[in-house]
Structure 1
């Protein structure tokens, strides 16, 4: 079943939409959540919550790429759960990961900045298209899928030090790109 068929099931309020989504994207969503939370139970909970959020979002939204749509939902749910967990205890893999990006992306300190978030997201997406494919894939693996460096190294057959160097260069390019586009730290 393709994305359009599954979206049609949601649109027509067929309960089988959730089953089809889970079959098609369950492992994908679980891996995103687990890479953020590092907890099987919490990752499964986020995936289950993803199907409810998707059910509530379609309609009125009609995503053209369902994998991106559910991926974003599970990622946001997982980050929210991570933040709640972090409030109780400090540490984890996400804090260093977010600290790596903090030097490139402006802080969200006020209402005006919150309004500019959509523009920032669009600009970062445009930046990603300027990167060579391999560099883009490494960047996405680390900062979208929250993969540990060792897992990225295994997946791409690259040494961790090479990945660190590539990510460092990509963050520098991102910072320069954002400045060129008028988005300042």
Structure 2
């Protein structure tokens, strides 16, 4: 059973990644914030008494469902008010969290990077982010859960509501698409 402090610590640990994941899906910062807040509230209200080990998978499932609910509401709203356009591309201002921040590694002083190396790395990360945004929704979701959230296949399948085989297929296709797109841009990983 999670204590109030453990639940709070868990939510703090996932908020930035959850926001970025939502932003990839809805491409609207305000909507992404709302989705993450709704997800956190639902987790706290309905599952706050669950063991800490169950919180990551529960939260991912709730976040996915809240995102789908947002799309359903948008579809209904757009059908009723066809001249309203709530879809905006993500802005580049105010973003203090890079997609692959975890992969860039901490500055351990192992070697000083030149300004050119840092610029090249930043450009590469932006290209990767752009290509991830272009993936089909289910591939993007599976890819982010598996390789960014570091969930295993079974956890990802449970969170996405599909079979483990589907998760593997989505991830394989996402990796193939990303690899091909990045290679076409001259980026070899």
Report the TM-score when normalising by structure 2: 0.45
Report the TM-score when normalising by structure 1: 0.46
